[in-house]
């Protein structure tokens, strides 16, 4: 059984489309169809139902999917383990990062990495931290540099790299701008835009308000910090932003007893053999680690 055929099967199963699977694997659609047909012939079962434009797994396909994932992950892990014997740092490194970290934290690290290891091809996915977390857990991505969950449980291993101070912000013309002190209850009287409810950052902010018995007016949500900043800057709502994004477009509010910090860092799967390239990137990230003190 060819692992390339299994990879094609998993891509179609994940995307629900032969054409999208072809794009994902950088193949033609006929090539994907041929691989699926070969796999079905080898196994003697039909793996997909094709009804109009809809492609769905058959019962046999659903049975094969977790086993195919195990085979592919085991094969890739074995290939990395054997490749590591050479001690050379080269090959492909699958890396996921959030849009915010990818824009504001990672560029200097990746610049140093690519200069030091020109033989490594970086395969970078920009994903929500929560999505990247799950992809590392499922073995689809080797490393993720993301906003860390409050509790990272085995089999994942997390290393905090940056402490990210969050500030309450409003537009320069907002009624609360310029005040010497603003209470959470005063903020709650105005519309807010928060990160999506499924995000680690949303939970950090929501828990602060819960501890003080205050319910904010969350009228909008988005997972992109740049979009939140735009909404705040034009006066649509107040929000929280990382200190690294503060500039003249917004005003920071002095809110007493409201220290908000999130951990940014790197995660990988303890059951997956790290490539030499992955180890090298983690070591480089360690040099970026900041102290626990946030002013």
pLDDT at 292 over 60: no
* Mean pLDDT of all residues in 50-79: 87
* Mean pLDDT of all residues in 69-92: 78
| CATH level 3 topology of 3-83 | Arc Repressor Mutant, subunit A (1.10.10)
Identify whether the C-beta of residue 260 lies closer than 8 Å to the C-beta of residue 240.
Answer: yes
Query: CATH 1.10.10.10 residue ranges in the chain?
Result: 3-83
Closest CA to 214 of 222, 223, 205: 205
What does the pLDDT look like over 99-111, one tens digit per residue?
999 999 999 999 9
Closest CA to 275 of 4, 68, 71, 88: 88
Is the domain defined by 163-262 classed in CATH 3.60.70.12? no
Alpha-helical (H) ranges within 27-128 are: 29-43, 59-84, 99-104, 107-116
pLDDT at 255 over 50: yes
The verdict on pTM exceeding 0.95 is: no
Report how far residue 38's alpha carbon sits from residue 165's, in angstroms, rounded to the nearest whole number. Answer: 53
What does the pLDDT look like over 168-208, one tens digit per residue?
999 999 999 989 999 999 999 999 999 988 899 999 999 99
Rg (CA), the chain: 23
Quickly state the pLDDT bin for 279 (edges 50, 70, 90): very high
Kindly provide the residue ranges of all beta strands, DSSP E only, lying in 73-187, ordered along the sequence: 91-97, 120-126, 143-147, 156-170
Q: What is the model's pLDDT at position 2?
A: 82
Query: CATH 3.40.190.290 residue ranges in the chain?
Result: 163-262
What does the pLDDT look like over 227-243, one tens digit per residue?
999 999 999 999 999 99
For the record, the structure tokens of 31 come out as: 């090539």
For tokens 């890739």, the residue is: 76
């Amino acid at each position: 059984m060819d692992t390339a055929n299994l990879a094609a099967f998993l891509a179609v199963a994940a995307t629900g489309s032969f054409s999208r699977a072809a794009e994902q694997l950088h193949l033609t659609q006929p090539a994907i169809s041929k691989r699926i047909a070969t796999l079905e012939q080898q196994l003697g079962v039909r793996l997909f139902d094709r009804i109009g434009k809809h492609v769905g797994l058959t019962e046999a396909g659903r049975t094969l999917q977790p086993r195919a994932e195990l085979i592919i992950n085991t094969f890739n892990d074995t290939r990395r383990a054997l490749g590591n014997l050479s001690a050379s740092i080269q090959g492909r490194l699958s890396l996921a990062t959030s849009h915010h970290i990818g824009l504001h934290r990672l560029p200097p690290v990746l610049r140093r990495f690519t200069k030091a290891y020109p033989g490594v091809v970086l395969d970078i996915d920009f994903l929500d931290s929560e999505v990247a977390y799950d992809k590392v857990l499922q073995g689809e991505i080797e490393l993720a540099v993301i906003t860390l969950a409050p509790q990272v449980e085995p089999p994942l291993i997390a290393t905090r790299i940056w402490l990210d101070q969050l500030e309450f912000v409003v537009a320069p013309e907002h009624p609360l701008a310029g005040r010497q002190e603003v209470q959470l209850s005063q903020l709650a009287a105005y519309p807010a835009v928060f990160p999506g409810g499924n995000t680690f950052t949303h939970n950090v902010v929501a828990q602060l308000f819960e501890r003080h018995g205050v319910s904010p007016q969350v009228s909008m949500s988005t997972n992109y910090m740049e979009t939140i900043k735009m909404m705040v800057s034009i006066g649509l709502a107040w929000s929280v932003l990382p200190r690294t994004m503060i500039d003249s477009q917004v005003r920071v509010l002095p809110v007493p007893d409201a220290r908000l910090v999130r951990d940014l860092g790197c995660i990988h799967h303890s059951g997956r053999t790290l490539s030499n390239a992955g180890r090298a990137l983690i070591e480089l990230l360690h040099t970026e680690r900041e102290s626990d003190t946030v002013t």
